Structure 1
């Protein structure tokens, strides 16, 4: 059996090479999507006394490619951004656009009236107005201090 001297710097160099590979040009977001790490749409949630206003960022997706379902406690959004086919004679095309299917479930902090939801989709932004259920709007909780 041969004895080999352990060199801690070799381990550090190996780790550094692995980290550098993560940031190589081939590992930019488009490569991550190919590996199944698709992006979910960004969301913005604002709660008022009367309703919850949900805004979702869905650029490049047509309304017909979206599926929005609302329960009294959550919003489910799914869709697909279809890829465009390009033909190029010369040169190389690199793209960081993300294509494919996505889905997201957004839990809500209070119960809503899911039969009265209004939606507007314009310029890649989906705005949902989710009116609160009557019992949630008028809910008063007594705090016991003794």
Structure 2
């Protein structure tokens, strides 16, 4: 990811010509346009972060992530007792035979998402399935967390 230096007053040479609100707004718009995937044709500045859905049942944690356009072999899933890390890379397959421009609004590149889990899970019993762009993870809870009930005294 590139670092962008924001210089909102780069065109000002004298203090008398301080920027107006409109000038500041234009500079902010220019900055956000540079960060957008279609702003200047350099879509690498905005990272792809898969959307996630977590369901906590008495027996397990069920996690679904929306990761379209990949194959199961392109995903790297690592489970610890308190978090899940999903990473991968969406590669561009654009080929042009003639001298022409190609415009793409798809996001390509590496991504990683680490999701903290609300309870401990059995890492060796984790199960994953990837179908139609949806990654589904079933993470059974560890026995100590399933039975864990804490009584809180009220004073």
Which TM-score band (shorter chain)? 0.7 to 0.9
Report how far residue 105 of structure 1 moved.
1.1
Match of 2:85 among 68, 71, 76: 76
TM-score norm. by structure 2 comes to: 0.78
Residue 124 of structure 1: aligned partner: 133
In 2, Cα distance between the equivalents of 1:20 and 1:137?
50
Name which structure has the greater RCO, CA cutoff 8 Å, separation 6+: 1
- Indicate if the aligned counterparts of 1:55 and 1:127 stay in contact, CA closer than 8 A: yes
2:27 pairs with one of 18, 21, 26: 18
1:90-129 paired onto structure 2 within 5 Å: 92-129=101-138
**Aligned pairs, number:** 140
1:34 alignment counterpart: 44
Cα separation, partners in 2 of 1:54 and 1:5, compared to 1, 3 Å: closer
Structure 1 residue 95: Cα displacement = 1.4
Point out where structure 1 has 5 or more consecutive residues left out of the alignment. none
Normalization by structure 1: what TM-score?
A: 0.82
Q: Sort the Cα spacing of 1:5 and 1:56 in 2 relative to 1 into closer, same or farther, 3 A.
A: closer
Q: Taking structure 1 as reference, are residues 140 and 93 closer, same or farther at Cα in structure 2, changes over 3 Å only?
A: same
